[in-house]
Structure 1
Amino acid sequence: MTDVPMRKRIMGWMMFDWASQPYNTLLLTFIFGPYFAEIVTNRGIANGLPVGLAKAEAQSLWGIGLTISGVMIAMMAPTLGAVADSAGRRMPYIYVFSLLYIVGSAGLWLAVPDAVNTTLILGFFIIGLIGMEFATIFTNAMLPDLGPRSEIGRISGTGWAMGYVGGLFALILCLCFLAADGKGKTLLGISPLFGLDTEAREGTRSVGPFTALWFIIFMIPFFLWVREDEPPVKRKKGAIKEGLIGLLATIKRLPKSPSLTAYLSSSMLYRDALNGMYTFGGFYAFGVLGWSVIDVGVFGLLTVASGALFAWLGGHADRAYGPKPVILVCIILLILAAVGVVCIARDSVLGIMTPEGSIIPDIAFYGCGVLIGAAGGVLQSASRTMLVRQGNPDRMTEAFGLYALAGKATSFLAPLLIAFATDISNSQRIGVSPVIGLFVLALVLLVWVKPEGEDKSVWAIAT
Structure 2
Amino acid sequence: MSNDIKQSVSKKGIWGWMLFDWAAQPFHTLILTFIFAPYFTSQVANNDIIGQSYWGYAIGITGILIALLSPILGALADTTGPRKPWIFGFAIIGCIASFCLWYIPPQADTSTMIWGLIAIGFALLGFEFSAVFNNAMMPDLVPREELGKLSGSSWALGYIGGLFCLVLMLGFMVGDTETGKTLLGFSPIFGLDSASSEGDRASGPLTAIWLAIFIIPLLLFTPDKSRVTSHSGAIRKSLTSLKNTLRSLPKQKSLTSFLLSSMLYRDALNGLYAFGGIYAAGILQWSIIQIGIFGIVANIAGAVGAWFGGKMDARFGSKTVVTYCVWLLIFASVIIVSTDQQHVLWLNVADEAGQTNLPNIVFYLCGAIIGAAGGSLQASSRTLMVDQADPNKMGEAFGLYALSGRATSFIAPISIAFFTSLFASQRIGITPVIGLFVLSLFLLPMVHSRLTK
| TM tier, smaller | over 0.9
2:355 aligned with 1:361: no
State the SS of the aligned residue for 1:28.
helix
Kindly indicate whether the alpha-carbon contact (under 8 Å) linking 1:157 and 1:381 is maintained by their aligned counterparts in 2: yes
> Partners of 1:413 and 1:23 in 2: how far apart?
22
Say whether residues 1:446 and 2:439 are aligned partners.
no
Asked if the contact 2:9–2:223 (Cα under 8 Å) also holds between the matched residues in 1, the reply is no
The range that moved more, 400-409 or 178-187, is 178-187
| 365, 374, 394: which one aligns with 1:376 | 374
1:31 is matched with 35
Q: Does 1:245 align with 2:240?
A: yes
Once the 2 structures are TM-superposed, how far is the Cα of residue 201 of structure 1 from its aligned partner? 1.4
- Aligned residues with identical type, % of pairs: 49
Residue 193 in structure 1 maps to residue 189 in structure 2: yes
Q: 1:317 aligns with which of 312, 316, 325?
A: 312
1:71–1:412 Cα contact (<8 Å) kept? yes
Whole-Å separation in 2 of the counterparts to 1:95 and 1:194: 29
Query: 2:347 is matched with which residue?
Result: 352
Establish whether residue 63 from structure 1 lines up as the match of residue 56 from structure 2: yes
Question: Is the CA contact (8 Å cut-off) linking 2:135 and 2:382 kept in structure 1?
Answer: yes
| 1:388 corresponding residue in structure 2 | 386
C-alpha separation between the residues in 1 aligned to 2:57 and 2:373?
26
> How far apart in 1 are the matches of 2:445 and 2:193?
55
Whole-Å separation in 2 of the counterparts to 1:213 and 1:201? 19
Contact 1:390 1:452 (C-alpha < 8 Å) held by counterparts: no
Aligned CA RMSD, in angstroms, stands at: 1.5
**Which residue is 1:167 aligned to?**
162
2:427 to 426, 429, 434: 429
Q: Which moved more, 1:175-184 or 1:400-409?
A: 175-184
Alignment match of 1:93 (pick from 86, 90, 94):
86
Q: Describe the superposition over 1:86-134 as per-residue Cα deviations: whole angstroms up to 9, x where unpaired.
A: 1112111111101011001100001111211211001111111110000
Gaps of 5+ in 1: 45-53, 454-463
My pick for the range that moved more, 233-242 or 346-355, is 233-242
Match of 2:148, SS? helix
Distance 2:210 2:413 in 1: 28
Give per-residue Cα distances to partners, 1:274-301, cap 9 Å, x unaligned: 0000000001000000000000000000
User: Which aligned pairs between 1:132-143 and structure 2 lie closer than 5 A?
Assistant: 132-143=127-138
The whole-number CA distance in structure 1 between the counterparts of 2:90 and 2:161 is 20
Paired residues, what number? 441
Cross-structure match for 1:269: 264
1:214 aligned to 210, 228, 253, which one? 210
- 1:10 maps to 2:3: no
- CA distance in 2 between counterparts of 1:357 and 1:62 reads 31
Number of the residue aligned with 2:25: 21
Alignment of 1:288-303 (within 5 A): 288-303=283-298
Deviation sequence 1:219-241 (CA, Å, 0-9, x none): 1211121131424x443420100
Distance in 2 between the 1:168 and 1:55 partners? 26
Partner of 1:102: 95
Query: 1: CA distance between counterparts of 2:394 and 2:278?
Result: 36
Q: Per-residue deviation at 1:5?
A: 4.5
Does the CA contact (< 8 Å) of 2:268 and 2:437 recur in 1? yes
Aligned to 1:113: 106
Contact kept, 8 Å, 2:25 with 2:158, in 1: the verdict is yes
Q: Is the 8 A contact 2:30 2:166 kept in 1?
A: yes
SS in 2 for 1:72: helix
For 1:118 and 1:374, how far apart are their aligned partners in 2? 33
1:258 is aligned to 253
TM-score (norm 1): 0.93
Match of 1:422, SS state, is helix
The corresponding residue for 1:226 is 222
* CA–CA separation in structure 1 for the residues paired with 2:192 and 2:142: 46
Residue in 2 that maps onto 1:48: none
Aligned residue in 2 for 1:460: none
8 Å CA contact 1:6, 1:146 repeated in 2: no
SS across alignment from 1:142: helix
Aligned residue for 1:123? 118
Letter in 2 for 1:265: L
Distance 2:9 2:155 in 1: 21
TM-score for the superposition, normalised by structure 2: 0.95
Separation in 1, partners of 2:362, 2:188: 30
- Structure 1 CA distance, aligned partners of 2:48 and 2:170? 23
Larger deviation, residues 189-198 vs 381-390: 189-198
- 1:179 is aligned, of 168, 174, 178, to 174
For the residues of structure 2 that align with 1:369 and 1:360, how far apart are their CA atoms?
14
Q: Deviation digits for residues 12-38 of structure 1, max 9, x if unmatched? A: 000000000000000100000110011
SS in 2 for 1:237: helix
Contact 1:35–1:293 (8 Å) recurs in 2: yes
- Indicate conservation of the 8 Å contact 1:182/1:292, yes or no: no
Which secondary structure does the structure 1 equivalent of 2:226 belong to? coil
Tell me, yes or no, if the aligned pair for 2:83 and 2:225 is still in contact at 8 Å: no
Match in the other structure for 2:334: 339
Q: What stretches of structure 1 move > 4 A for 4+ residues in a row?
A: 1-5
